[in-house]
Chain A
């Protein structure tokens, strides 16, 4: 139906042809085309099927607001659904396919929905809520699968995205969003005042609507010439950066903006270029010049292919040299649409009539149209558009003054309809950052109302201004004046002065005011509005909105969710105001009382890739590695995440599974000697005259009494008395301590210490430093540990007398400078060696070599866990969950009763924390020794049949098969556990079976500590 004109098309290069495919069909277009303009040039207007009713749909708009023309782009891993044809730049080899139809775009079974809907509404407002109430089970197995198959837009891609994306942070004095006439003017005023300006435009071209309005004269030249001159002038200014294909996606507090740049969508062969770039801009001042969006009129069958927005018709004619049809009717409630009539006639198309719903069309533009011999039918609208997959005719209706039907009209045989229901300022971004709006009942629009609340910057001054059409200044002259004002105000807020410059003279016709017209009456089955589409993308009709009003929905926010109005991927850009007005009409309330929905970023959908940026694949998240990481990887390490670290869970040997490896590692450490990379252990230096006093308050036990050169196990609690970290504290000097923390807790503990120092005890002379990365730490555990260190050559006296348990000394091992701690987390004779990280790999190697005759093996975190559990040592995060006190874990001995205060002391005296029936740590032996309890299994008072609720008394916190004891062991938190020794507990499992276990002392192995000498 559409065709390429002989001449015209400001943006296309007719000398070059590009090939592309739509649904497999080979088509041709030109550089500069959008997919939509190229499809229309090839006579394709039917481009998709609608969401619910599978109605045939064409191209409605020419830009970001397009609700219908969504296609799947690309193929394979680069396939991407729901892309707007109107914003997709054509490139050679582009592949697109239509969506939401079966078996084909032209013949679609789902359209039956629509046929039935003509008789009885199917999928009307609240359809899901009302229809499938019962039985509940049918939802999962019957209703939902069927609905899911029938509804929905494009399909998700199935392969990983091979493209790259990135973020980019930048700062600028002034950010101008939108490169239309207002944006160009505001940017120039700001730049001439000396500000650094970033000017962005979502399309590939600067100029906005000025590129289309040839008849408007600015500064004595046509609007497109003026736009070209201004664009060139700005490009030549060194303080101005212009960025096309870059959309303002979100505007946040204090001038923080998120921009979405489509770097390589239009040149997919660009080597290494990221596909999209997400800009994160901090701007001193923000100028929003985002223009306005035209609204369709709500009449019967207004969604047929061939029905378009009046301004979009003009865009296709002038930007792309494409005429969307041959014979047109234009329907409007305002003067702007008359420009489309003039443009169409100039392009050689037939304009059968302009239907103006206003009772009289008296403006200069209407007179111009009449002078072109185009009939103007005042007080007329469209009762119904006839057609199937294309417009065939328009039935007119004569309207009474109150908008009701006053008489039957005639049939106008045309193939295209251009609708204009007025323009809505794009206030989205202004609203994102808190700018308030008001309803202008003369101009019929929500426009910014800074007097009700404007976004402010960090200094409390206004930092964001709308201008031009986005501020409701629709006429070109008013738009430019408003933009000049915004530019001058923005720089004035920065203390700069815009040089005096005269506003350009604008020659444009005066316009007759718009009049409200929210629903065009129809007869018979069309009277109720079931074919009067409001939200094209979600298939919401006027009847749906009215039904919601009748059913008691008064708030637009509720109606939106009930009807899904404005909830599609276009977020109601063309439908929100129309839907709102219909709701207000149905409720008999003024529009401002019904309210407007909230605008949320992003302005149009942006790719997930852009949001992820470079955080993808190996760079998805920073993984901390110890200096021995490479050695571990080369020696079979099966890694597991611990905090941000990756640690070997175990070292797999050929033929081993995890269980076999862990068993071997445990037995080897118990019988000979093992080494563990414990470098991830948090290490925090606390130093200063008040360090002893400070640590007495931080830890539950006393650190001031610790002697220099000695170690003490310490517990840290929150203010609420709950245990949150533990570790060995070493006194390295009279005023200095080294506090070990859990691997995952180092940063948290460091922040905890600083917070208390900075907010509560700011008068303490204490410094802290997190030196976790400075030190490699290696645990050497097992009966041969002392022999191994001796073999590795050391200047340290390792005897129990010289280096007793819980002491530390400095010296050298295998040539490396070390701090040697005589501590044990396995219950074996054990040492922990700390050496500066750069010496770590060499020391690790030296220990393994020296230990070879003794049968040394490295062991991983699981062997560590098993061995500590065999000894009944708790693990933060296993035995603790933020609700567990030291007393619950039987750690009374590590909680000082003498100290007057420590963090958590007061809380631990509360009644609830001293109840004798709190959950307390116990050991468990399963009745069947080979059975291992599942982690987290619940103990119950009485078992009942599966699915019935049971009263639980606690749960398993750690559970292993102990290679040392050759039986399963577990730890659990059980109500009143300390008093349940010997009791048999029942654990109902997910498979319906019941496991039984007896409460025992949680120290399973070497209770007397005979091994650790």
Chain B
């Protein structure tokens, strides 16, 4: 077998104390396009992702990292262990055989970054126009938006834990940008974004 590597090779950074940026490495990702209102879709997604089908603008994750993210009215991004992508695709094909759908392995098309720490929302606000206030972006919310001029998917896993996906070919730019604007001297200290949120 040839050696598989992620876009950023597991890069990590701590641009300021309390702010961690991590390449999540190779993660099994499946894009599923189908009519999400079909009950069969909800069942199929739950079977492979181990979480109930997320509602509009939401993400849901199980303890083991499986999960699903709502990407569009007809699109779900499903996370499974990398080694299980083929099995998951087969399971989806079997469950949705009678339904017009498309399920593709996009594990290598996208890089996944995890941001942790109090300042994350503030750092994201330096490049994303989306409303990041806790009232508008609670834990479990997922949005597709722009960050640092790139198209990204963004979801809030916990109060101070966020995941970002972007196309693999842009991952180095996104990582470098996060490190640059996340520096301590650049703290905005704007309460609606920061810890009081």
Residue of B nearest to A736 (CB): B102
A501 at the binding interface (Cβ < 8 Å): no
B10 at the binding interface (Cβ < 8 Å): no
**B2-A842 in contact (CB<8A):** yes
Smallest CB separation, B161 vs chain A (Å): 20
**B190-A170 in contact (CB<8A):** yes
CA–CA, A598 and B74, complex, Å: 46
Q: Which A residues between 169 and 183 are near B, CB-CB below 8 angstroms?
A: 169-172
Q: Among B4, B104, B191, point to the contact of A769 (Cβ < 8 A).
A: B104
Q: Mark A616-660, 1 if CB is under 8 A from B, else 0.
A: 001101111111000000000000000001000000000000000
**B126-A169 in contact (CB<8A):** yes
A615 at the binding interface (Cβ < 8 Å): yes
B129 at the binding interface (Cβ < 8 Å): yes
B101 at the binding interface (Cβ < 8 Å): yes
Residue of A nearest to B3 (CB): A842
B105 at the binding interface (Cβ < 8 Å): yes
CA–CA, A785 and B38, complex, Å: 48
Q: Among B102, B105, B181, B184, point to the contact of A614 (Cβ < 8 A).
A: B181
Chain A residues with CB below 8 A from B173, complex form: 619, 622-623
Residue of A nearest to B174 (CB): A622
A297 at the binding interface (Cβ < 8 Å): no
Q: Mark B1-35, 1 if CB is under 8 A from A, else 0.
A: 11111110000000000000000001000010100
**A168-B125 in contact (CB<8A):** yes
Q: Among A164, A624, A815, point to the contact of B1 (Cβ < 8 A).
A: A815
Smallest CB separation, A282 vs chain B (Å): 7
**A274-B186 in contact (CB<8A):** yes
Q: Which B residues between 51 and 108 are near A, CB-CB below 8 angstroms?
A: 74, 100-102, 104-108
A266 at the binding interface (Cβ < 8 Å): no
B110 at the binding interface (Cβ < 8 Å): yes
Residue of B nearest to A776 (CB): B108
A273/B108 contact (C-beta < 8 A), A166-B181, A688-B100, A767-B33 known: no
A241/B108 contact (C-beta < 8 A), A272-B185, A846-B2 known: no
A837/B126 contact (C-beta < 8 A), A170-B190, A171-B133, A614-B148 known: no
CA–CA, A154 and B6, complex, Å: 51
**A774-B131 in contact (CB<8A):** no
Chain A residues with CB below 8 A from B167, complex form: 624, 772-773
A232 at the binding interface (Cβ < 8 Å): no
CA–CA, A273 and B196, complex, Å: 22
**A689-B2 in contact (CB<8A):** no
Residue of A nearest to B128 (CB): A169
**B181-A836 in contact (CB<8A):** no
CA–CA, A282 and B191, complex, Å: 16
**A814-B7 in contact (CB<8A):** no
Chain B residues with CB below 8 A from A241, complex form: 190-192
Q: Which B residues between 157 and 197 are near A, CB-CB below 8 angstroms?
A: 167-170, 172-174, 176-177, 180-181, 183-186, 188, 190-193, 196
B150 at the binding interface (Cβ < 8 Å): yes
A538 at the binding interface (Cβ < 8 Å): no
A280 at the binding interface (Cβ < 8 Å): yes
Smallest CB separation, A137 vs chain B (Å): 45
Chain A residues with CB below 8 A from B191, complex form: 238, 241
**B176-A837 in contact (CB<8A):** no
Smallest CB separation, A602 vs chain B (Å): 19
Chain B residues with CB below 8 A from A282, complex form: 129, 131
**A775-B100 in contact (CB<8A):** no
**B176-A614 in contact (CB<8A):** no
CA–CA, A257 and B100, complex, Å: 44
A771 at the binding interface (Cβ < 8 Å): yes
Q: Which of B132, B183, B186 has the most CB of A within 10 A?
A: B186
A687 at the binding interface (Cβ < 8 Å): yes
CA–CA, A765 and B74, complex, Å: 12
Chain A residues with CB below 8 A from B129, complex form: 169, 280, 282
Q: Mark A834-851, 1 if CB is under 8 A from B, else 0.
A: 011111011100100000
**A843-B2 in contact (CB<8A):** yes
Smallest CB separation, A243 vs chain B (Å): 8
B149 at the binding interface (Cβ < 8 Å): yes
B138 at the binding interface (Cβ < 8 Å): no
Q: Interface majority SS on B: helix, strand, loop or mixed?
A: loop
Residue of B nearest to A841 (CB): B5
Chain B residues with CB below 8 A from A277, complex form: 188
Q: Which A residues between 674 and 691 are near B, CB-CB below 8 angstroms?
A: 685, 687-689
Residue of A nearest to B86 (CB): A817
Chain A, interface size: which category? 35 or more
A816 at the binding interface (Cβ < 8 Å): yes
**B102-A625 in contact (CB<8A):** no
A270/B185 contact (C-beta < 8 A), A238-B191, A622-B149 known: yes
Q: Which of B2, B102, B168, B181 has the most CB of A within 10 A?
A: B2
**B106-A842 in contact (CB<8A):** no
B127 at the binding interface (Cβ < 8 Å): yes
Q: Mark B114-133, 1 if CB is under 8 A from A, else 0.
A: 00000000000111111111
Chain A residues with CB below 8 A from B107, complex form: 774, 836, 838
Chain A residues with CB below 8 A from B100, complex form: 688-689, 765, 767
Q: Mark A761-789, 1 if CB is under 8 A from B, else 0.
A: 00001010101111100000000000000
Q: Among B109, B177, B184, point to the contact of A837 (Cβ < 8 A).
A: B109
CA–CA, A839 and B130, complex, Å: 35
Chain B residues with CB below 8 A from A625, complex form: 169, 172
Q: Among A169, A618, A773, point to the contact of B110 (Cβ < 8 A).
A: A773
Q: Among B108, B148, B169, B192, point to the contact of A170 (Cβ < 8 A).
A: B192
A273/B185 contact (C-beta < 8 A), A645-B169, A687-B102, A765-B100 known: yes
A949 at the binding interface (Cβ < 8 Å): no
Q: Among B26, B132, B172, B193, point to the contact of A838 (Cβ < 8 A).
A: B26
**A273-B176 in contact (CB<8A):** no
Q: Which of B169, B170, B185, B188 has the most CB of A within 10 A?
A: B169
A166/B109 contact (C-beta < 8 A), A238-B196, A838-B4 known: no
Q: Among A622, A623, A771, A836, point to the contact of B148 (Cβ < 8 A).
A: A622
CA–CA, A835 and B191, complex, Å: 47
CA–CA, A189 and B149, complex, Å: 37
Smallest CB separation, B187 vs chain A (Å): 9
Q: Among A618, A814, A815, A837, point to the contact of B108 (Cβ < 8 A).
A: A837
Chain B residues with CB below 8 A from A166, complex form: 126, 181, 186
CA–CA, A842 and B2, complex, Å: 6
Chain B residues with CB below 8 A from A853, complex form: none
A167 at the binding interface (Cβ < 8 Å): yes
**A171-B102 in contact (CB<8A):** no
**A171-B136 in contact (CB<8A):** yes
CA–CA, A624 and B150, complex, Å: 11
Residue of A nearest to B186 (CB): A274
Chain B residues with CB below 8 A from A771, complex form: 104, 106, 109
Chain A residues with CB below 8 A from B101, complex form: 767
Chain B residues with CB below 8 A from A168, complex form: 125-126, 188, 190
**B169-A626 in contact (CB<8A):** yes
Smallest CB separation, B41 vs chain A (Å): 13
Smallest CB separation, B38 vs chain A (Å): 13
CA–CA, A687 and B104, complex, Å: 10
Chain A residues with CB below 8 A from B130, complex form: 169
A298 at the binding interface (Cβ < 8 Å): no
**A627-B5 in contact (CB<8A):** yes
Q: Among A167, A271, A623, A772, point to the contact of B127 (Cβ < 8 A).
A: A167
A34 at the binding interface (Cβ < 8 Å): no
Sample of 4 further A-B pairs with CB below 8 A, known A172-B192, A772-B169, A774-B106: A282-B131, A627-B7, A837-B108, A842-B4
Question: What are 25 of the A-B contact pairs (CB < 8 Å)?
Answer: A167-B126, A168-B126, A169-B129, A169-B130, A171-B132, A238-B196, A241-B191, A271-B185, A614-B127, A614-B148, A614-B177, A624-B170, A645-B169, A765-B100, A767-B33, A769-B31, A769-B102, A769-B104, A769-B106, A772-B167, A774-B105, A815-B2, A837-B168, A838-B26, A843-B2
The 10 closest A-B pairs by CB, nearest first: A272-B185, A774-B109, A838-B4, A842-B2, A624-B169, A837-B108, A767-B102, A622-B173, A836-B108, A767-B33
